[in-house]
Amino acid sequence: MKVLVTVKRVVDYAVKVRVKPDGSGVDLSNVKMSMNPFCEIAVEEAVRLKESKVASEVIVASVGPSQSSEQIRTALAMGADRGIHVEVEQELPPSVVSRALKFIVLKEKPSLVILGKQAIDDDCNQTGQMLAQILDWPQGTFVSKVKVEGEKVQVTREVDRGLETLELRLPAIITCDLRLNEPRYATLPNIMKAKKKPVEKLGLKDLNCDPLHGIQTLSVFEPHKRQGGNKVESVAELIDKLRNEAKVI
């Protein structure tokens, strides 16, 4: 069974982002970029499926600028077999990315597509769900356990009331939560081997995809500065402040 796993290049989780002075977006100059942490979990799960002989091939796909090839190479060094890079210079919303991924799915015919539950740059949490919708495939989101059994995959989902177990018919879409696994570090020999693994390059035109389909960013601004907190001496004072100052009770 083929597994397709998707990786997004995002601002590293440790970077404190700054908004561009003209409000057109986030300043990405000289900022450390990395693989989205939830995508690392997705790659790890796909590679484990291959190591346990459930998957025969792991393909990694990314839609992004030329530098996204770094994240594809990282996934290849973690154990994926080959890459597909849809090269686009502009930032695309999930509505367009999911359409580009649909094209790759129809071309590669994987039995399982594993995505991160969300990208930490836009926190959209939409791409997996949109991809499932446009393919009309079953989906298991926020997954913390995966078990493939024949033509089905059993997933455990983290939901508000606890854990939910679902059985999905393959082919299916999965989005990974934090507790699914702990991603490995790529070793130096594997980083060297990954340089020789094939990566196919495509453009949005090859995918018949309109980059303007979707949302348009009108302006980006910093969150308002938070005012300092106050310590109160008693419960009575707290209630008084909530009632008369904050006016929330």
**Which residues are at the interface with ligand AMP (CB under 6 A)?**
6-8, 36, 38-39, 42, 62-64, 94, 97, 115-116, 118-119, 122, 124-128
Q: Which is nearer to ligand AMP, 129 or 241 (CB)?
A: 129
CB of 92 to ligand AMP, least distance (A): 6
Which CB, 214 or 241, lies closer to ligand AMP? 214
In whole angstroms, the minimum distance from the beta carbon of 4 to ligand AMP comes to 10
- Of the chain, the end-to-end C-alpha distance in Å amounts to 57
Q: Is 155 helix (H, G, I), strand (E, B) or coil?
A: strand
H or E element, residue 85: strand 82-87
Shorter beta-carbon distance to ligand AMP: residue 87 or 241: 87
Distance in Å, CB of 243 to ligand AMP, minimum: 40
53, 3, 7, 4: which is closest to 33 by C-alpha?
A: 7
Shortest Å, Cβ 114 to ligand AMP: 8
- Contact of 59 with 110, CB cutoff 8 Å: yes
Residue nearest to ligand AMP (CB): 116
Residue type, 172: A
Q: How far is the CB of 16 from ligand AMP (least distance, A)?
A: 20
Select 162 or 198, whichever has its Cβ closest to ligand AMP. Answer: 198
Q: Identify which of residues 36 and 156 has a Cβ nearer to ligand AMP in the complex.
A: 36
178: buried, middle or exposed (CB in 10 Å: 19+, 13-18, 0-12)? middle
Residue (71 or 156) nearer to ligand AMP, CB: 71
Shortest gap between Cβ of 236 and ligand AMP (angstroms)?
45
Q: Identify the three-state secondary structure at position 31.
A: coil
Residue burial 63-95, b: 16+ Cβ < 10 Å; e: rest: bbbeebbebbbbbbbbbbbbbbbbbbeebbbbe
- Name, in order, each residue with C-beta under 8 angstroms of 235's C-beta and a sequence gap of 6 or more: none
118 vs 139 by CB, closer to ligand AMP: 118
What the block records as the tokens of 169 is 């018919």
Q: Report the nearest approach of ligand AMP to the CB of residue 86 (Å).
A: 7
Pick the closest to residue 100 from 176, 3, 215, 213 (CA basis): 213
